[in-house]
Structure 1
Amino acid sequence: MSDVPLSEADLDALVHDWLTWDQAAEALGVTPAKVRTMIKDHELAGAVPKPGAGPRVPADFIQDGLVVKGLPGLLTLLHDRHFDDRECIAWIYTDDDLPGRPIDALRENRGSEVKRRAQVLGY
């Protein structure tokens, strides 16, 4: 993994496709207010990827009209380890201890290996 702290990671370089809250709401079939609630409840994570962009959600977090299986549990686990949303997104897109990025493992229904890796963070 890079020597750059997760809090300082360039999210715009890590995440190639971002959705506005309106676009995320449309993809999930909910309202933008529900997307905001989902972010607050750690079902989704959102961040401002670059100055002036406004808050966004990584497009990879939504698959087939649903939040990617295992993502809410992973986000809760990371938040319990005092990660903020920016750090969660950076870890999900950069942790190279797995075969591939954690987001790829989640999208391929290999979430248990991602959660195991996240559980040992900080120890």
Structure 2
Amino acid sequence: MTAENPDVVPTDWLTIPDLVEILGETQSRVRRLLDERVLLGSRREGPVKVPAVFLVGGQPLSSLRGTAIVLADAGFSDDEAIDWLLAPEPTIGVAPITALLAGRKSEVRRVAQTLA
């Protein structure tokens, strides 16, 4: 679902029913998580799918929402935000999602703010 780039962080993609099962939430609650940018999803290949790497320990990565909001404020669509998060970012040295998983949210958001 992302550009054919071997450097993109590999991830499985989860559908809404997958997320209902993993998160133990209702389908409407999962959709609300998407609406509130707690999770980001893509419809590029049919039904909404969310990169599995956006979940940690069966819960949404806590630093994803604020980062998604910064990217939306910079004019990114959800698809563009997902692509940016999964692709290597030279100014960070790794893919932004990798940096977020390592607890480097301030650095990721600082770079995201410069993209507007």
Task: Please report the TM-score for the alignment, with normalisation by the length of structure 1.
Answer: 0.81
Superposition CA RMSD, Å: 1.7
Indicate how the Cα distance of structure 1 residues 68 and 103 shifts in structure 2: closer, same or farther if over 3 A, else same. same
Correspondence list, 1:36-115, <5 A: 36-50=31-45, 53-97=46-90, 98-115=92-109
Task: Please report the TM-score for the alignment, with normalisation by the length of structure 2.
Answer: 0.85
Identical-pair percentage: 34
**Structure 2 equivalent of residue 28 of structure 1:** 23
Q: Is there any run of 5+ residues in structure 2 with no aligned partner, and where?
A: none
**Structure 2 equivalent of residue 11 of structure 1:** 2
User: How many correspondences in the alignment?
Assistant: 111
Q: Is there any run of 5+ residues in structure 1 with no aligned partner, and where?
A: 1-9
Q: CA deviation at 1:34?
A: 1.1
Indicate how the Cα distance of structure 1 residues 12 and 29 shifts in structure 2: closer, same or farther if over 3 A, else same. farther
1:27·1:65 contact (CA, 8 Å) conserved in 2? yes
